[in-house]
Amino acid sequence: MNVTEKQIDLLSLDTHELTGLIQSWNEPVYRVSQIQKWLYHELVDSFDAMSNLPRALRARLRQETTLESLKLIAAQDSADGLTRKALFQMADGQTVETVLMRYLDAPGSPEDSTDPPNIARRTVCISTQVGCPVGCPFCETGQAGYIRNLTLGQVVAQVLYFAREQKRQGYATPLTNIVIMGMGEPFMKFNVTWRAIEAFTDPARLGMGARRITVSTSGYVDGIRALIEKHSQVNLAISLHAPDDALRDELVPVNRKYPLRELMQACRDYVRATHRRVTFEYALMDGINDSPAQAQAVAQLLAGLLCHVNLIPLNPTSASPYQRSPYKRVLEFQRVLNQANIPTTLRVEKGIEIAAGCGQLRQQVTGRKLQTDKNVELQPVT
């Protein structure tokens, strides 16, 4: 990676900013849409490929801007070949994870599908921070500490990496969904996350429908309120994990700043303003938050709210003291919620078998003991 400090990260510029840059170079404004088409529609990764730009402009772009805010240093595929996880390094040496999750639209493995394979959904899960300051004790990222926020360009570059990869595989629409659910708390720097959502939805850039994008927060009420102000159709997910403040203070420590009463009020306001349902994520931990009484308490907390609960059997991590709930208990928990008319999905996390649970590839590559799985091959990428 040869990114100098003077170089502008082109992916960190919105249309207005790119126009300002192009005008300051005394270039005609129509160059902006030409450049954006190459970057976000044609998905090229070099200035040389931008064949309708004059040679001199390409040279100036190459010299004064960059597209290389992320360098792939490791990748890992799930045994079924549907999930791929990438570890990127940035100019300051820090690393960040991104995951591509693909879902078959018909039974069968990619090996016996046509080319390109019969894959209905191609979702990329992106990170917003290096580490995470929230510090949830069951989460690998939370336990790794916190370094910094990603820049807008680094958030966008994660999506473009997998969009390019899927385009090479032959998909006319390379990605169908984006989930902002990787490392970090996306609402801590709301502005960066919102600008990334704009880059994904802006027709001049990625042009994805807002309803295909989901942002997950540990419960940053200020961020939820800022999202309400945007009148956006993006999906909101809340990492609930506990039905009462005492337990949630421990499992999702941001609860001490934004207790459940405030969080639930923000969720109700969100539904009222957007008429969109809120998704609650609930990682089931053996003997911690998975009793039928706690399921009742969740049902009570969510009663009357337009919502959906994703039940996720915990993916145990190296540093965490918690274990996954037994399946029987998971089903019982789900039954209690369903009986209270709360819709649920039992989500067997895509890619958990390749440690897609938040922050785990990073731990593996950057030093911690591998969480081994005999089906998994860790390939260094040059």
Provide, rounded to whole angstroms, the least separation between the CB of residue 239 and ligand SF4. 6
Residue closer to ligand SAH by CB (options 61, 312) is 312
Residue 185 touching ligand SAH (CB under 6 A): yes
Task: Give the residue, chosen from 136, 284, 311, 336, that forms a contact with ligand SF4 under the rule CB under 6 A.
Answer: 136
Residue with tokens 């570890």: 87
Backbone φ, ψ for residue 166 (5° rounding): -70, -30
135 binds, among ligand SF4, ligand SAH, none (CB under 5 to 8 A by kind): ligand SF4
Helices (H), ranges, 202-309? 221-230, 245-251, 260-274, 292-302
Stretch that binds ligand SAH, among 56-64, 136-144, 168-176, 190-198 (CB under 6 A): 136-144
97 is catalytic: yes
Q: Choose the one of ligand SAH, ligand SF4, none that binds residue 283, judging by a C-beta under 5 to 8 angstroms depending on kind.
A: ligand SAH
Structure tokens at 376: 């998994």
User: Which one of residues 87, 134, 215, 278 is an interface residue with ligand SF4 (CB under 6 A)?
Assistant: 134
Q: 69, 176, 193, 317: which one contacts ligand SAH (CB under 6 A)?
A: 317
Q: Is 377 a catalytic residue?
A: no
CA 305 to centroid of chain Cα atoms? 25
Q: How many residues belong to the site for ligand SF4 (CB under 6 A)? A: 13
218 near ligand SAH (CB under 6 A): yes
Question: Which pair of tokens denotes residue 233?
Answer: 């159709």
Burial category of 175 from C-beta neighbours within 10 Å (exposed 0-12, middle 13-18, buried 19 and up): buried
Range 345-374, binding ligand SF4 (CB under 6 A):
358
Q: Dump the DSSP string for 310-378.
A: EEEE----SS----BPPHHHHHHHHHHHHHTT--EEE---TTGGGT-STTHHHHHHTTSPP---TT-EE
Under rule CB under 6 A, residue 139 binds ligand SAH: yes
Would you count residue 289 as binding ligand SAH (CB under 6 A)? no
* Separation of alpha carbons 359 and 370, rounded Å: 12
Buried b (16+ CB within 10 A) or exposed e, 327-344: eebbeebbebbeeeebeb
**Closest residue to ligand SF4, Cβ-based?**
142
Residues forming the active site: 97, 358
Where does this chain bind ligand SAH (CB under 6 A)? 132, 136, 138-139, 181, 184-185, 216-218, 239, 281, 283, 312, 314-315, 317, 357-358
